[in-house]
A and B are shown apart, each in its own frame.
Chain A
Amino acid sequence: MSERLTMVTGRTRKQAIGMHKGKDSPEYREATGLVEMNPEDMARLNIEDGGQVLIRTAEGEVELTAHAGSLPAGLVFVPMGTLVNRLIGTETMGTGMPSFKGQTVDIAPVGEREGSS
């Protein structure tokens, strides 16, 4: 089962620390390889805390580790970084700024690759 949700990206403390260690460092990979979700969204999608999820957009797809967070229903948060940027389009609406916040994404537990419901 997959579902269409809205994603915001942003800075975290661990992402900043990992960036100094290097973008190929375990610290950076761990800090940027996660998605925070609303617990009820996770339960509905059969996503366990610490489980792997597949996130897809028209631009690409990535696997991230899901964590329950204080997110409103329908919204997910992913730390900025190389992984999440595979999901972001290049349309800037004449401003230079891509949609790093507000991108629509399809999310499913890893192993479930059928289309969005």
Chain B
Amino acid sequence: MSTVVEHVTCTFCGCLCDDLTVEAEGTEIRKVRLACSSGQGIFMDYDPRPRQPLVDGREVEWEEAVAEAAAILSASDSPLIYGLSSSASEAQRKAVALADRIGAVIDSTSSVCHGPTGLAMQAVGEPTCTLGEVRDRADLLVFWGCNPDASHLRHFPRFSLTAKGALTPNGRADRTVYVVDVRPTGSSKKADHFLQVDIGTDFEVLTTLRLLVKGLEPSVDIVGGVPVTELKELVERMKSCRYGVAFMGMGLTMASARQLNVAELFTLVAELNEFAKFSVIPMRGHGNVTGADQVLSWTTGYPFAVSFARGYPQFSPGEFSAVDMLARRAADAAVIIASDPGAHFPAAAAAHLERIPTIVLDHGPSVVASHAHVLFPTAAYGVDAAGTAYRMDNVPIPLKSVISTGRVTDEEILDRIIEAVA
């Protein structure tokens, strides 16, 4: 049977583009319209065939897999639950409930993404807005340490660079665009101004911008490789714009100073509001990494790196964050949900996942799934399961099921594991 589903949401990145059309024949997806090259694979490379769970590589019935997972977690003194960001918020809530039940540490891919952004937000607040406001109002855009041209391919046309809105009817012509980065990128080539900063100097450059906003004069001519005259020009544009928005990415969170870089940018943005309307939006990567932060914050008070080991939530990045837990060999079992730390963690941290029993929930193959002790092949939210995800601007977006495969969701499996360990 042929089906055409409109207004479908893509879960690849934090843009959560919800204007796709998907054509399918039975469970085979034939065509996806409007998805970018990164999002196409979410649908076109999806293998919809139902599969049985595996225990140590052997196909088993669901009951046996659930019982095995429960046995591993019941025997564990220090379980780690990690991932969440390619799952739906309904399942993320269940993961927190499981962590609470078994006294686990729970962490999401935020800790290797915008975890430092969360720390900055806790320290100085986050003056932010929605992407709709950016599209409709922003006449000055500053992309700092991010490259949407490679990571968020429809951000420019849908929300920012070329998007046309109520007060920006001419799109690109109505905006001035800066890119600040350590190297020229596809994004910098599309900007009006590119400020190339020396790696590791973002904090100094941001501090200088704050100083200039206050009308003070730096005692040097160049900061972080950027002439102060160019920083002065940027500050004048920032103070005189109608609606400015800064977007920031891993160039700030992964470089030295991490959360201090982000806090400096957030503070600069807050201070600019004495002169003009100005906001900042973190460029969130995974489709629902923002939802992981939201759900963990609602339920525990903290956005990531939370331990229930003492029976109540404790927050300690560097201690309860997954890379640190694994590097210290502090976890003796792990539940990995819809992510692949086997591929995306430093090898020495990923190696510990091969020493301890792992329970993996994923809709496709991954490095960590390849050596899972218990593997639950799940449905993919937004493809063959419905749910909710949070866009990078914290707006919840519904995910549709565009094909019916009968595959089991993360939420259902987590429910059954919670029952089994009770």
Chain A residues close to B by CB (< 8 Å): 6, 8, 10-13, 16-17, 19-23, 59-60, 69-72, 75, 77, 80-82, 85-86, 88-90, 92-102
Contacts and interface: CB of A to CB of B under 8 A. Distances in A.
B184 A95 contact: no
A102 to B, nearest CB: 5
A60 B347 contact: yes
A6 B199 contact: yes
A10 B250 contact: yes
B37 A16 contact: yes
Contact of B183 (A70, A80, A95, A98): A70
Contact of B41 (A10, A20, A75, A94): A20
Interface residues of B, number: 57
Contact of B343 (A10, A12, A82): A82
Given A23-B367, A85-B350, A102-B256, 19 more contacts: A12-B150, A16-B151, A23-B343, A72-B183, A75-B183, A85-B345, A88-B346, A90-B326, A90-B346, A92-B321, A95-B115, A95-B317, A96-B111, A96-B324, A97-B258, A98-B254, A98-B349, A100-B250, A102-B254
Interface centre among A13, A16, A97 (most CB of B within 10 A): A97
A89 to B, nearest CB: 6
Contacts of B45: 20-21
A12 B147 CA distance: 9
B343 A85 contact: yes
Interface pairs A-B: 6 shortest CB-CB: A20-B41, A96-B321, A94-B318, A96-B111, A90-B327, A16-B38
A81 B343 contact: yes
27 contacts: A6-B199, A13-B150, A16-B12, A17-B40, A20-B44, A22-B364, A22-B365, A23-B340, A23-B366, A59-B346, A70-B183, A72-B196, A75-B182, A77-B183, A81-B343, A89-B346, A90-B327, A92-B324, A95-B258, A96-B115, A96-B322, A97-B254, A97-B258, A98-B345, A100-B112, A101-B251, A101-B255
Contacts of B344: 80, 85
Interface centre among A6, A69, A99, A101 (most CB of B within 10 A): A101
B199 to A, nearest CB: 6
Nearest to A28: B343
Contacts of A13: 37-38, 150, 153
Nearest to B197: A72
A54 B298 CA distance: 46
A70 B199 CA distance: 15
A89 B346 CA distance: 6
Contacts of A59: 346-348
Contacts of B340: 23
Nearest to A99: B254
Contact of A70 (B184, B350, B365): B184
Interface of B: 12, 37-38, 40-42, 44-45, 107, 111-112, 115-116, 119, 147, 150-151, 153, 182-184, 196, 199-200, 250-251, 253-256, 258-259, 285, 304-305, 317-318, 321-324, 326-327, 340, 342-350, 364-367
A90 B317 CA distance: 13
A102 B343 contact: no
B135 to A, nearest CB: 23
Contacts of A69: 183
Contact of B42 (A20, A75, A82): A20
B36 to A, nearest CB: 9
Contact of B323 (A10, A20, A60, A96): A96
A8 B198 CA distance: 12
B318 A96 contact: yes
B199 A102 contact: yes
A17 B342 CA distance: 18
Contacts of A93: 258, 318
Contacts of A88: 346-347
Contacts of A72: 182-183, 196
A59 B184 CA distance: 28
Contact of A8 (B116, B199, B324): B199
Given A21-B41, A95-B259, A11 B324 contact: no
A98 B112 contact: yes
Contacts of B321: 92, 95-97
Contacts of B200: 102
Contact of A90 (B38, B40, B116, B323): B323
A90 B183 CA distance: 25
Nearest to B366: A23
A10 B272 CA distance: 30
A67 to B, nearest CB: 13
A92 B251 CA distance: 15
Interface centre among A69, A72, A96, A99 (most CB of B within 10 A): A96
A22 B346 CA distance: 19
A96 B37 contact: no
A96 to B, nearest CB: 3
Contacts of A71: 183
